[in-house]
């Protein structure tokens, strides 16, 4: 396998995991260069793996709390080993005891546009089934990364929940009349 996927191969044992283990000596070049996938990964800790196709492989970030939905919200994004392009269609159960053991499913997929791709900053626009928007992955220290959403959501009516909003506690009573429904949030 190409040196850039060597770390991926070294963490997996053929026949012990259903994950793709390509045997080619070079990385795949069959992609279009603009594919992304977000895996929901139920490993020791639930997290989302954001994978971006680049130079015949998937550049991968583990995002413990998922991609931020509100502009300006910064989340941890742990840079992990590059994955083969074949991983963009992988879903399945990685056996307990194997690296990354747990259920892995595709949460979203689509294409992306590259606005900037550098050693310490990756700025992209995602076009998925669930995720749309501009995100910036940036290095905070030598090996630490974060991700921030840098544009407003698609819905022009969207506003973030006020930070000091206290939820109403449940009380016994009747629901409002249907004509008052637009005055309430459920």
Question: Is 1's pLDDT higher than 50?
Answer: no
Residue 161 lies in a domain: no
Is 34 in contact with 53 (CB distance < 8 Å)? yes
Residue 122 lies in a domain: yes
How high is the pLDDT of residue 61? Answer: 96
Residue 95 lies in a domain: yes
**Distance from chain centroid for Cα 162:** 25
Query: Which residues partner with 79 through β-bridges?
Result: 61
Residue 38 lies in a domain: yes
How high is the pLDDT of residue 50? Answer: 97
13-45 confidence digits (pLDDT tens): 677 776 777 765 544 556 678 999 999 999 989
Residue 181 lies in a domain: no
Q: How far apart are the first and last CA of the chain?
A: 53
Question: What pTM was estimated for this model as a whole?
Answer: 0.75
Residue 106 lies in a domain: yes
Give the count of domains, the chain.
1
Domain that holds residue 10: 3-154
Residue 71 lies in a domain: yes
CA 87/CA 74 separation, integer angstroms: 27
Residue 169 lies in a domain: no
Question: Is 179's pLDDT higher than 80?
Answer: yes
């Amino acid at each position: 396998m190409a040196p850039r996927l060597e770390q991926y191969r070294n963490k997996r044992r053929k026949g012990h995991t259903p994950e793709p283990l390509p045997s080619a000596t070079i990385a795949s070049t069959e992609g279009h260069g603009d594919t992304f996938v977000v895996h929901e990964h139920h490993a020791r800790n639930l997290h989302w793996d954001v994978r971006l196709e680049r130079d015949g492989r998937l550049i991968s970030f583990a995002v413990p709390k998922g991609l931020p939905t509100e502009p300006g919200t910064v989340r941890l994004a742990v840079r992990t080993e590059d994955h083969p392009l074949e991983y963009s269609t992988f879903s399945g159960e990685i056996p307990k005891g194997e690296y990354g053991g747990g259920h892995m499913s595709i949460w979203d997929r689509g294409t992306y546009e590259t606005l900037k791709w550098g050693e310490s900053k990756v700025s992209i626009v995602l076009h998925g089934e669930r995720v749309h928007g501009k995100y910036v992955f940036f290095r905070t220290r030598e090996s630490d990364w974060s991700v921030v959403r840098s544009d407003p959501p698609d819905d022009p009516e969207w506003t973030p929940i006020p930070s000091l909003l206290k939820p109403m506690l449940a009380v016994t009573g009747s629901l409002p009349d249907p004509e008052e429904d637009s005055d309430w949030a459920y």
